[in-house]
Amino acid sequence: MSALLFSTLSVALAEIGDKTQLLALLLATRFKKPVPIILAITIATLANHGLAAALGNYLNHLINPNYLSWIAATGFILMGIWVLIPDKLDDTPTKTHQWGAFLTTLILFFLVEIGDKTQIATIVLATHYSATLQVIIGTTMGMLLANVPVVVLGQFAADKLPLKWIRWTTASLFILLGVAALLFT
């Protein structure tokens, strides 16, 4: 599977029920301005995942390739397990309404994404695939595929998705990729 396609699918599925998706829902219901929210999510994700992919690319040059494939495979398996743990939004943003929908979303989305499953997945994907730009584009597209419907449709979309099934499917994909990487290294 290509870096672009796998990055898109894995992040789109991993994002379902993630805290950044919950944040997108919260911002959509608070501001009721989908266009600036979606634009800010796009920019924040490009910046965040660009940095994550750069780190993954750097690790490719820093670590012996024999060890890197084992590390990437282990990372995929651990991501699969982590995806099974549902997220909840820890802190509700306060006093951000004065910044407007775009700036609030941009700052909060970038910060909440730091250390998140999808950012870690981007690092792992960038170490596994040599196509860094495809990984960045793919993970950003995956993020948008998961979040744009939530922003546009609000609570309806979040309540109707089979989150448990989506988590298990995503976990299976990551674990299968990890096992495949272990078998073929």
Instruction: Report d(CA 55, CA 109) in Å as an integer.
Output: 19
Interval 52-102: pLDDT, tens:
999 988 888 887 767 766 776 787 787 678 767 765 554 444 454 557 899
Interval 120-130: pLDDT, tens:
889 989 988 88
pLDDT at 155: 54
CA proximity to 134, closest of 55, 49, 24: 49
Whole-prediction pTM: 0.73
Interval 127-151: pLDDT, tens:
888 889 999 999 999 999 999 998 9
For residues 83, 84, 88, 90, the Cα torsion angle rounded to the nearest 10 degrees is: -60
Domain ranges of the chain: 3-183
The pLDDT confidence band at residue 166, using thresholds 50, 70 and 90, is low
Residue 16 DSSP class:
T
For the cut 60, the answer to whether the pLDDT of residue 156 exceeds it is no
